[in-house]
Amino acid sequence: SAVISQKPSRDICQRGTSLTIQCQVDSQVTMMFWYRQQPGQSLTLIATANQGSEATYESGFVIDKFPISRPNLTFSTLTVSNMSPEDSSIYLCSVTQTSGTDTQYFGPGTRLTVL
């Protein structure tokens, strides 16, 4: 399976600021996704990162709050904008590979704390 890395692994941020999370894959992948896991909760899909076009957002998530880029087949970023303590979560990227399987593989996650 693909090796997925995320930067930063964790961060503590101040209210009102923004943080950009990077997701890097060691091989070309078909699809890239961003999930959020709030404390004590399960994972929720934020959006699908589309190469060269705007991301597809799930209900309850908007581009102004979570802008996403995907400039190529191995890299994507998620920005959490104008943060509040409610944004404290683990943010995870996942990918499906071009090898034919639709299995999703997840990165290690970015643990964000907003003060």
Partner 1 sequence: DAKTTQPPSMDCAEGRAANLPCNHSTISGNEYVYWYRQIHSQGPQYIIHGLKNNETNEMASLIITEDRKSSTLILPHATLRDTAVYYCIVNRGSSNTGKLIFGQGTTLQVKP
Stretch that binds partner 1, among 12-20, 39-47, 68-76, 80-88 (CB under 8 A): 39-47
Minimal distance in Å, beta carbon 16 to partner 1? Answer: 26
Binding-site size, partner 1 (CB under 8 A):
24
Cα distances (angstroms) measured from residue 50 to each of 34, 70, 76, 95: 11, 6, 9, 12
Contact 9, 19 (CB under 8 A): no
Token pair in block for residue 92: 């995870």
Considering only 11, 45, 67, 75, the residue that binds partner 1 (CB under 8 A) is 45
Whether cis (ω within 30° of 0) applies to the bond prior to 8 is yes
Nearer to partner 1, 16 or 26 (CB): 26
Contact 35, 91 (CB under 8 A): yes
Q: Under the criterion CB under 8 A, does residue 113 sit at the interface with partner 1?
A: no
Q: Under the criterion CB under 8 A, does residue 48 sit at the interface with partner 1?
A: yes
Contact 94, 109 (CB under 8 A): no
Considering only 14, 42, 52, 85, the residue that binds partner 1 (CB under 8 A) is 42
Binding site for partner 1 (CB under 8 A): 1, 4, 31, 33, 37, 42-45, 48, 58, 90, 92, 94, 96, 102-109, 111
